[in-house]
A = this chain, B = another copy of it.
Amino acid sequence: MTKLNSEQDFLTLIDKYFPSENGHVTLGRGDDCSILKTGKDLCISKDLFLEDVHFRRSYFSPADIGYKSLAVNISDIAAMGGQPCGFALGLIVPPTLESEFWEPFFASMSALAEQHGIILAGGDLSGGQYLGISVTVWGESAGGRFLSRGNAEPGDVLFLHGPAGMARTGLLSLEENATYALKNYPQSTQAHLRPPMRVAAGIKLAESPDVKGLMDLSDGLARDLPRFLGNCEGNVGAEISLPEELLHEEILRYAESKSISAAEHAFQGGEDYALFGAASADGFAELAEYIPGLHKIGTITADNRITLNGREYTAGGFDHFSG
């Protein structure tokens, strides 16, 4: 097991797991900057992933942290319909953190990077009181265009690629009792610890002229849907339908155990990193055939109301008397 006593030890370990150059990066790590060969426009995103804010070490393994800190950034590229190319990594390293943490952390991060063909192009190391991972990732358009949020109009279909509410079920049950949660909610806890990436689906969506707009569900439909609608022309709204048959058995079971509405719990969501977007109603059936896992969850409406299964939702919550 590598002991990490200096910045040089870290850099050596990073070099063990991450190649330094490829066709995209013509000058790799170790200089003041890296140099990127950019034939096309780039999309770029940056996310912090901090101990006790975004993850807990009590139930995130080092490998989970390595995976998810990069994954939440890759998801932003997928949400543009982009092909991720490279990333830069900032690490805040508490002096008390055991050296054994880092091998599985880097191994897991590098496996995800390799899977998507993206290169670690540089970064920065610093001491600090809490473990923190700061990733900046960039990508190119694969489908000829990037997809931004919104751009939809009344009548368009709202779709989801991936679940709503799974990761929230995992998070809440992990926070309550991690051992119980991992045993009784295996797929939900996995959805929180290791959300799957949807790069291939994002690229296919960008290739289709029927798709109007796209984003990833990082904060849940309740917060992300109003952002999506806010980027559409006019005061549009949405009718969302999350029937029980669309919700995972673990969500239904969790909601029942808490005597809460499974659909509202799924609508609150958060950290699912599902792709959420809008497509023309005419083209959607063909699109759903072309992209396995894509399913309709609603429609854009001409008023500025949001409803879930017929009940109105406002920033204050659900109106349980409106349905």
Contact of A149 among B32, B121, B132 (CB under 8 A): B32
Q: Which of A38-46, A175-183, A278-286, A290-298 contacts B (4 or more CB under 8 A)?
A: A38-46
The chain B residue with its CB closest to the CB of A126 is B48
Q: Is A112 an interface residue (CB 8 A)?
A: no
| Inter-subunit contact B45/A35 (CB<8 Å) | no
Q: Other than A36-B44, A44-B88, give 8 A-B pairs with Cβ distance below 8 A.
A: A26-B41, A27-B148, A33-B82, A38-B38, A38-B42, A48-B90, A48-B134, A53-B127
Q: Which of A12-20, A73-81, A164-172 contacts B (4 or more CB under 8 A)?
A: A73-81
| Inter-subunit contact B136/A33 (CB<8 Å) | no
The chain B residue with its CB closest to the CB of A216 is B32
Q: Is A21 an interface residue (CB 8 A)?
A: no
Task: List, sorted by A's number, 8 A–B pairs whose CB atoms are closer than 8 Å.
Answer: A27-B148, A31-B215, A32-B76, A45-B88, A46-B88, A47-B90, A48-B92, A128-B132
Q: Is A123 an interface residue (CB 8 A)?
A: yes
Query: How many angstroms between the C-alpha atoms of A36 and B35 in the bound complex?
Result: 15
Give A83-97 as 1s and 0s: 1 = Cβ < 8 Å from B's Cβ atoms.
000001110100000
Query: Provided the pairs A90-B134, A216-B32 are in contact, do residues A126 and B41 lie with their beta carbons within 8 angstroms?
Result: no
A253 to chain B minimum Cβ distance, whole angstroms, is: 31
Q: Is A34 an interface residue (CB 8 A)?
A: yes
| Inter-subunit contact B45/A122 (CB<8 Å) | yes
Most buried by B among A134, A146, A148: A134
| Inter-subunit contact A35/B46 (CB<8 Å) | no
| Inter-subunit contact B132/A132 (CB<8 Å) | yes
| Inter-subunit contact A36/B42 (CB<8 Å) | yes
Query: How many angstroms between the C-alpha atoms of A254 and B79 in the bound complex?
Result: 55
Q: Is A2 an interface residue (CB 8 A)?
A: no
Q: Which residues of B contact A126 (CB under 8 A)?
A: 48, 50, 53-54
Q: Which residues of B contact A34 (CB under 8 A)?
A: 43-45
Query: Provided the pairs A38-B40, A54-B126, A126-B54 are in contact, do residues A45 and B32 lie with their beta carbons within 8 angstroms?
Result: yes
Q: Is A320 an interface residue (CB 8 A)?
A: no
Query: How many angstroms between the C-alpha atoms of A31 and B36 in the bound complex?
Result: 23
Q: Which residues of B contact A35 (CB under 8 A)?
A: 41-43, 80, 146
Q: Is A129 an interface residue (CB 8 A)?
A: yes
Contact of A136 among B32, B46, B82, B129 (CB under 8 A): B46
Q: Is A37 an interface residue (CB 8 A)?
A: yes
Q: Is A98 an interface residue (CB 8 A)?
A: no
Q: Is A289 an interface residue (CB 8 A)?
A: no
A219 to chain B minimum Cβ distance, whole angstroms, is: 10
| Inter-subunit contact A79/B32 (CB<8 Å) | yes
Q: Is A124 an interface residue (CB 8 A)?
A: yes
| Inter-subunit contact B46/A122 (CB<8 Å) | yes
